[in-house]
Structure 1
Amino acid sequence: MLNERAQILLKTLVERYISDGQPVGSRTLQQYSGLEVSSATIRNVMSDLEDIGLVSSPHTSAGRIPTGMAYRLFIDTMLVTQPLDSARVLQLENQLQPDNPSRLIAQASNILSDLTQFAGVVATPRREALTVRQIEFLRLGEKRVLLIIVMPDGEVENRVLLMERDYTQSQLTEAGNFLNQNYIGCSFSQIREKLRGELRQLHQDMSALMAAALAAGDEAAAKKSEDYVISGEHRLLHVNDLSTDMNRLRGLFGLFEQKTELLQLLEAGRKGQGIHIFVGAESGLASLEECSVITAPYSANGQIVGTLAVVGPKRMDYQRVIPIVDITAKLLGNALSQN
């Protein structure tokens, strides 16, 4: 527990460091804290804060900088954010046109990056939670069938099925009609469960076609559920806190390219309610030890389907960035729900 004076000085130090990017000395704290205390008193408080791991001294004669623990304390107990003004919200809403889901995801990623000047990440919607609007089969040639899956958001997935026997287009049309009449509005896992008993009653050749379609549908859903769109990662090259260490940058860009670990972090953010902030080592990823990741889940038709995030340095203006992440998640969800 910090006394009120220590809290004010720590808050001032974090704010000045975020603003200036330079170690904060006692004179600066005396000037900006509003406290009527001497420089010697401030130095004593700083020494105490350093002992408990909230600040550190990069050089013996310089001021102090906040640690990851200090940022966490600042975010949890000292930070006050204000929502974006209505004019800016309307401007952002106009940038998210609900005409194409893939374009929406890219637009949201660009908005996050443009407004924060960091990297904007949007995980694509989790398709296994969504239903199927339409299924069609087209004969491509002997033993080759094109499976066409229309998702509720209007996107189309195509898969080529290699079958053990040939089908006429009439048979394929019949199969598509059967699925559309009985199972539209279900996910592939639900279709499989409902078909479990009925497959035994279908003709063996039709049963094989249905099983192949379900397997391909699951694959399409899984692929779309394990990806994200990232914008503005090049902007991190110009962030002084990150660009001075090339090994750190290589690790960060490797993380973006490899995707799996960052997706797991986004998934962790998706499970929480509202904004979630990972500061430095809290992410559990070595490549993000000097970064903060601010995440927010987004919904479509009342159901959480994905997560978006901003990846930037720990020394970011949280008061400004958090509302941007929050409103972008809400606007993206609204736009997807209109599709």
Structure 2
Amino acid sequence: MVEKKNQALNERSLLLLKSLIERYIYDGQPVGSRVLSKDPALNLSPATIRNVMADLEDLGLIHSPHTSAGRVPTVSGYRLFVDSLLTVKPLEISELNLIQSSLVAKNDINQSIGVASKLLSDLTRMTGVVTLPKRELVSLRHIEFLPLSNTRVLVILVTNEQEVHNKIIHTSREFSPSELQQIANYINTMYSGRSLAAVKKAVIEELKVAQERMNQEMLDVVQMAKLALDQDENSEDCVISGETNLMGFSELSDIDRLKQLFDAFSQKHNVIHLLDQCLNAEGVQIFIGEESGYQPFNQCSLVTSSYSIDDEVVGVLAVIGPTRMAYEKVIPFVDLTAKLLGAALNPKTLAP
């Protein structure tokens, strides 16, 4: 659709559309012919500009708000601008250095994810989101069980070389330290190096085996493994930073709209579902307005990119802001942050 509209426009129309959108992104005010006539790059009379703007409006690329004679871009206009007219700006040296120095290899994956999310928020003054690596792509390295009081057991789960997770589980009976050691030894011997998803699937399959044919020791093993690998319903699947930054944009400052946005951020699952669509996409992906298919983001744009560990895509990061965001700066921020986050999380770069 954008390609057809692009073909229907001559160079003058495209240049005017580009100028109008850049002006609107800069100051957030509807753009009129008088303002555009002062642009030396256009060198067009106000009458000519009005005619071209009328053509752009007929094509659905711009429209006139009720309160102004000026024009603002539509979603289609932004899409054409982003796909065909945008010139991405290289990052400033200071910005590049800040991202590189912040995203260094750490043994705590949650800390790295949090740093990336805050970086995106601080550098763009919008909202930064980073999903945690998908559990099905995380590998088991080592597991330990330590007895606590009564039927409580502390699980120490080491994944992806040096990432450590602690979790308390409640078992059906009390286990002695030696029993817990035997269970851990069996799990480490049988499943070390396999993905958590594959381990859990194998455990569930073993549970399906007629339990009367299992001795109690084996039953304890598979039940303990299942408890250890079950993901908590309240566990964090993504880290969001800078939600309140969106309050600074007039087009998003309506109380009802802000409530919808903050509700979306607090619930998270719809945001994660949206970002998961980008897991198999290469490079930077952009959702403008209603393109996201998620009503609370109808006045927003999302600039996203997946990040990889060991050449395997495991998560997605994004900047969420108004549709009139400075795409030429946000895109390289997102692209570089994704690359450096993946490098920081690569087990080969982690400190011993």
Query: Please, what TM-score do these two structures have when normalized by structure 2?
Result: 0.88
Question: Aligned equivalents of 1:30 and 1:101: distance in 2?
Answer: 52
Q: Is this contact kept in 1: 2:167–2:228, CA < 8 A? A: no
SS in 1 for 2:277: helix
Change over 3 Å in CA distance of 1:197–1:115 after alignment to 2: closer
- The residue number in structure 2 matching 1:230 is 240
Given the alignment, which residue of 294, 298, 313 partners 2:307? 298
Change over 3 Å in CA distance of 1:41–1:60 after alignment to 2: farther
Q: Which ranges of structure 1 fall in alignment gaps of 5 or more residues?
A: none
Displacement of 1:139:
2.7
Displacement of 1:34:
2.1
Superposition pairs of residues 195-234 of structure 1, within 5 angstroms = 196=205, 204-220=215-231, 227-234=237-244
Quick one: which amino acid aligns to residue 231 of structure 1? S
Deviation readout 1:199-223 (Å, 9 max, x if unpaired): 8899622222222233224323886
Q: Is this contact kept in 2: 1:276–1:294, CA < 8 A? A: yes
Change over 3 Å in CA distance of 1:87–1:36 after alignment to 2: closer
Change over 3 Å in CA distance of 1:247–1:285 after alignment to 2: same
SS in 2 for 1:271: coil
Quick one: which amino acid aligns to residue 279 of structure 1? I
Deviation readout 1:268-289 (Å, 9 max, x if unpaired): 1222111111100101111111
Question: Aligned equivalents of 1:326 and 1:222: distance in 2?
Answer: 31
Q: Is this contact kept in 2: 1:57–1:65, CA < 8 A? A: yes
Superposition pairs of residues 239-278 of structure 1, within 5 angstroms = 239-243=249-253, 245-278=254-287
Q: Is this contact kept in 2: 1:16–1:24, CA < 8 A? A: yes
Displacement of 1:103:
1.0
Superposition pairs of residues 159-198 of structure 1, within 5 angstroms = 159-163=168-172, 165-192=173-200, 196=205
Given the alignment, which residue of 120, 126, 131 partners 2:128? 120
Structure 2 residue 37 is the aligned partner of structure 1 residue 27: no
Displacement of 1:262:
0.8
Question: Aligned equivalents of 2:314 and 2:306: distance in 1?
Answer: 8
Question: Aligned equivalents of 1:128 and 1:189: distance in 2?
Answer: 4
- The residue number in structure 1 matching 2:3 is none
Question: Aligned equivalents of 1:191 and 1:261: distance in 2?
Answer: 27
Q: Is this contact kept in 2: 1:127–1:221, CA < 8 A? A: no
- The residue number in structure 2 matching 1:94 is 101
SS in 2 for 1:215: helix
- The residue number in structure 2 matching 1:323 is 332
Percent identical pairs in the alignment equals: 43
Superposition pairs of residues 16-165 of structure 1, within 5 angstroms = 16-32=23-39, 34-59=41-66, 62-85=69-92, 88-99=95-106, 100-152=108-160, 153-163=162-172, 165=173
Change over 3 Å in CA distance of 1:274–1:213 after alignment to 2: farther
Q: Is this contact kept in 2: 1:157–1:220, CA < 8 A? A: no
Displacement of 1:317:
0.5
Q: Is this contact kept in 2: 1:12–1:33, CA < 8 A? A: no
Displacement of 1:305:
1.0
Question: Aligned equivalents of 1:223 and 1:305: distance in 2?
Answer: 20
Change over 3 Å in CA distance of 1:39–1:101 after alignment to 2: same
- The residue number in structure 2 matching 1:284 is 293
Question: Aligned equivalents of 2:152 and 2:201: distance in 1?
Answer: 26
Q: Which ranges of structure 2 fall in alignment gaps of 5 or more residues?
A: 1-7
Quick one: which amino acid aligns to residue 187 of structure 2? L
Q: Is this contact kept in 1: 2:135–2:196, CA < 8 A? A: no
Question: Aligned equivalents of 1:197 and 1:229: distance in 2?
Answer: 35
Q: Is this contact kept in 2: 1:188–1:214, CA < 8 A? A: no
Question: Aligned equivalents of 2:101 and 2:32: distance in 1?
Answer: 45
